Amino acid sequence: MNMARFDYSNQVTGKDIARGRVNEAPISPKHAIEIARFIKGMKLDDASAYLQGVLTLEKPIPFKRFNRNVPHRKGLVGWDAGRYPHKASRVYLRLLNNVRKNAEYNGLEGEQLRIVHVCANRGIRRRSFMPRAMGRATPKDRQTVNIELVVREQEA
């Protein structure tokens, strides 16, 4: 079986960058897109700390695009609707840790890393079945997400 080669959608180059990628993560595309929009431009450590707060239900992710019937959450500045996407946050934390390790391997300073590019796209759909009553089953597509992240070392 031949695996497809994926390329980054934004061609960021230079000696002061580090990249990471997750292919076909079994999470909600809407949650992944909202987290990507929120953490873009943040420092790597701040994004990790915020996502840890999401896992402990202390800090919500503001839902600005996919916010139909999304309730208000306290602690959001400049926005009302938000959620605590646990599963997607765990995938992003693993990706941020991976990018931090890649940056250390490239000789970059860990505290100066800023997220310059993050992109979440819908991946392939996997066919599955949902069990129903009386021995029946309903076909269902399981969604996946491809996430790419690029950080750059900022001068102090």
CATH of the domain at 76: 3.90.470.10
Tokens of 131: 């069990």
Dump pLDDT digits (tens) for 78-108.
899 999 999 999 999 999 999 999 999 999 9
Residue 149 forms part of a structural domain: yes
pLDDT band, residue 5 (cuts 50/70/90): low
Residue 35 forms part of a structural domain: yes
The number of distinct structural domains making up the chain is: 1
> What's the domain range around 126?
18-153
- Predicted TM-score of the model (pTM): 0.90
Helix, strand or coil, per DSSP, at residue 23? strand
Q: Exposure string (b/e) for 79-92, b if CB count within 10 Å is 16 or more?
A: eebbbbbeebbebb
Q: Is the pLDDT of residue 117 over 90?
A: yes
How much of the chain is in helix, strand and coil states, percent to nearest 5? 30, 35, 35
Residue 104 forms part of a structural domain: yes
Residue 48 forms part of a structural domain: yes
Tokens 């946050």 locate to 89
Q: Is the pLDDT of residue 120 over 60?
A: yes
Residue 101 forms part of a structural domain: yes
Share of the chain above pLDDT 90, in %: 83
pLDDT band, residue 40 (cuts 50/70/90): very high
Tokens of 107: 């000789």
